[in-house]
Amino acid sequence: MKRTVFIVGLGLIGGSIALSIRREHDVHIRGFDISEEQLKVASSLQIIDEVASTVEEGVKDADLIIFATPVSKTEQFIQDLTNYSLKAGAIVTDVGSTKRRIVDKAVCLKEKGVTFIGGHPMAGSHKTGVEAARAHLFENAFYILTPAKGTDLRLIIQLQNWLKGTKATFIELTPTQHDRLAGAISHFPHVIAASLVHQIAKIEGEDPLVSRLAAGGFRDITRIASASPTMWRDILLHNKESLLQLLESWTSEMDQIKTLIEEENASAIHTYFQDAKDFRDGLPVRKKGAIPSFYDLFVDVPDHPGVISDVTGILAQHQISLTNIRILETREDIMGVLRLSFRSEEDRERAQIHLQQEMYDTYIL
């Protein structure tokens, strides 16, 4: 008899986990989502085998229960499980970006004879919805597991075996350690990006030209500010302690650079940027991290009719898919630039090779 997996939340992450499990295990996958449309798409794409009309119905006899829902909803669902009939020995996990509050909440499940192990696959996409789900979404990404203290090691291994089709690198952290690190590398940068956008919005009230000037590089470095406001509201409230500490440190950091500027300390300012450059340049470039990467390739092109179709034609000839193409403004030292975005590092490398063979100058920033 096939084992049953129940997934609550059939968006990009939930759908991708379902596909990754299916490619390694012969299972029956049951799904639930508040969106009827997402359920229909998931069924038509054979991401799930069965639609559950309620969470209570879906958890019955399930060997593995996965909550791929916003962290505030996951907390509520975990509380609801205490009132449902659950299969003894089942494993419950989630994919939320914060862990301490959820793991603490899940202590209530011990009485039900099931084990909760927090999870956070640190990968994503700029696309949303179950139609964008891919089995390979988590390949080479870090998948954080945050079991409660005293969790049976065999059950942690069992969950990793369930998720081996993700082809992710599993790392075990305490919930507190996870929230501190995720706060620094993911949650806090989203706060900074949103703050920068707010600053420009205020300047626009004085000089509307700022929006036109911000359309290039500024828009790129603040792209994460376009993420779901509801999701980030919940994440910030769930990771309150870590973020308040980070904000305090950030204020001190800004005071430091403010002092250097006031004192016109050229040497110290240079060192400040040099140290940042050295550390940033030393970060891994091929690993997937908490913030989805852009795989962009820049192509110098002449101002000539048909040049864009020539570039895209070369890519199509070699079956390389684009996720986005943008014409950057012409600069004085070159004729023009195309910015091509790809789904993966491999696609970008192949594109660079074939375009260079056709005498196009390409570069990666």
Task: Tell me the pLDDT tens digit for each residue of 305-361.
Answer: 788 889 999 999 999 988 888 876 544 444 578 889 887 778 899 999 999 998 888
Which residues of the chain fall below pLDDT 50? 330-334
The CATH number assigned to the domain holding 118 equals 3.40.50.720
As for how many domains the chain has, the answer is 3
45 in any annotated domain: yes
Question: HSE-up of 9 (CA within 13 Å, CB side)?
Answer: 21
Domain boundary residue, one of 132, 157, 173: 173
- Name residue 224's amino acid: I
User: Tell me, what's the pLDDT at 57?
Assistant: 95
Is residue 270 assigned to a domain? no
Same domain, 160 and 194: no
Residue-number span of the structural domain to which 85 is assigned: 3-173
Residue 287 lies in a domain: no
Residues 245 and 133 in one domain: no
Residue 345 lies in a domain: yes
Instruction: Kindly list the distances between the CA atom of residue 18 and the CA atoms of 34, 63, 178, 334, in Å, as whole numbers in the listed order.
Output: 17, 14, 24, 47
Does a structural domain hold residue 359?
A: yes
Give me the pLDDT at residue 215, please.
74
**Same-domain pairing of 188 and 247:** yes
Same domain, 220 and 192: yes
Residue 293: the pLDDT is: 62
Asked whether residue 163 is domain-assigned, the answer is yes
Pair (135, 7) in one structural domain: yes
Residue 139 lies in a domain: yes
pLDDT for the residue 148: 95
- Reported as a single tens digit per residue, the pLDDT across 273-304 is 999 999 988 877 655 655 566 688 888 887 77
Out of 281, 308, 342, pick the residue that ends a domain: 281
> Are 11 and 144 members of one domain?
yes
For residues 249 and 310, membership in a common domain is answered with no
Is 306 a domain residue?
Answer: yes
pLDDT of residue 333: 46
CA separation, residue 68 to residues 43, 77, 129, 186 (Å): 17, 11, 12, 18
